[in-house]
Amino acid sequence: MALLMLPAWRGPALGPLLRPLCSWADGLLHSMAQPGTWDRFYTQQDTAGTPSHFNWFFDYMAISGLLLPALRGCGPPEPNPNPTRVLEVGCGTSDLSLGLYRDSPHPVHISCVDVSPVAIKSLHRLLQEVPPPRHPLSQLHLHVADATDLEGGGFGDGSFHLVLDKGTCDSLLRCAQGPSQARRLVAECLRVLCPGGSLLQFSDEDPDARVPFLEQAGAPGVTVQEVGHLGGMCYYVYTLCRPALETPTTVALN
Ligand SMILES: C[S@@+](CC[C@H](N)C(=O)[O-])C[C@H]1O[C@@H](n2cnc3c(N)ncnc32)[C@H](O)[C@@H]1O
């Protein structure tokens, strides 16, 4: 395992902020890769007709102190005014990307994708309520797309500085036909990263299982950091960095 790349956690104690899987969500565990499962799930969340965020594990505020520095760390170097390009795979109705869009002091262009049109429709309604972003050039776009086939969704090689996955790889890994789909998800996330970019996976899976899986899926270097504990469960962030291109100078120096 390589050295940790993320800044040390300096946010609030995560205990009260982390959200364990509810018993009704446990029922999802065996059907997470089935078409329609997530549409039914988000339809149930939206029965009152007023959309609200559903956050797997924890919400944006719980990890904003980790995400905002990571966002800055992998974006274009200062004083480049170009936006940092971010992709969230399997966004559901989480407030993660909306929080980053709202709070980033630097321009961000965020694309959120989810296979569930119901989730994307709800998130679109929630986006209408978000105050203007802190940086006037920031943008956020929502797409119904299969994150295991981002190419089919029109996302080209090397398009993003940062890819975020909170619970999506976990959900694919937890069902019978999942592991092959999870490998495709990781491969696609790495393909769309630009050199020097990072994929962050937020997960409750133990490093003993997740690190070998990620390495077998082709991840060039995996680091792991604990995000917090709740109810005896530990939550982690796995960081996969796409190596920066070597310049002729650095090659010569090495
Ligand atoms: C465990 S939930 C996590 C949702 C969200 N990231 C959060 O933190 O609340 C998994 C999400 O992945 C989405 N998903 C599952 N398979 C997908 C796929 N192949 N492509 C895109 N999204 C997918 C589901 O619709 C669901 O919203």
Segments making up each domain of the chain, as ranges: 53-73+81-253
Higher pLDDT, 90 or 57: 90
Q: Picking from 59-73, 109-123, 240-254, which range would have the lowest pLDDT averaged per residue?
A: 240-254
| Any ligand 1 atom below 6 A from CB of 39 | no
Burial of 139 (0-12, 13-18, 19+ CB in 10 A): middle
Q: Which atom of ligand 1 is nearest to the CA of 53?
A: 9
* 83 and 160 Cβ atoms separated by less than 8 Å: no
Whole-number mean pLDDT of the chain?
A: 84
Q: Which residue has the higher pLDDT, 29 or 200?
A: 200
Evaluated on CA atoms 172, 186, 194, 161, the torsion sign reads: positive
Q: Would you say the CB of residue 228 lies under 6 angstroms from ligand 1?
A: no
**Least confident piece of the model among 19-28, 116-125, 201-210:** 19-28
What average pLDDT score do residues 208-217 get? 93
Better-scored residue on pLDDT, 173 or 49: 173
pLDDT band at residue 29 under the 50/70/90 scheme: low
Closest to 78 measured CA to CA, from 107, 101, 56 = 107
What's phi and psi for 60, nearest 5 deg? Answer: -55, -45
Distance between CA atoms of residues 199 and 152, nearest Å? 20
Which of 114, 165, 175 gets mutated to test ligand 1 (max ligand atoms within 8 A of its CB)?
114
Of 194-203, 207-216, 242-251, least confident by mean pLDDT is: 242-251
Whether the CA torsion 93, 212, 181, 112 is positive or negative: it is: positive
33-37, 107-111, 115-119, 231-235: least confident range: 33-37
Q: How far is it, in rounded angstroms, from Cα 211 to Cα 177? A: 20
Whether residue 223 has its Cβ less than 6 Å from ligand 1: no
Does ligand 1 have an atom closer than 6 angstroms to the CB of 37?
no
Mean pLDDT of 170-192: 90
State residue 12's pLDDT score.
40
H/E stretch holding 221:
none
Please provide the CATH number assigned to the domain covering 53-73+81-253: 3.40.50.150
Region 110-122: what's the mean pLDDT? Answer: 96
Q: What is the pLDDT of residues 92-106, one digit of tens each?
A: 999 999 999 999 999
Examine residue 12 and say whether the peptide bond preceding it is cis (omega within 30 degrees of 0).
no
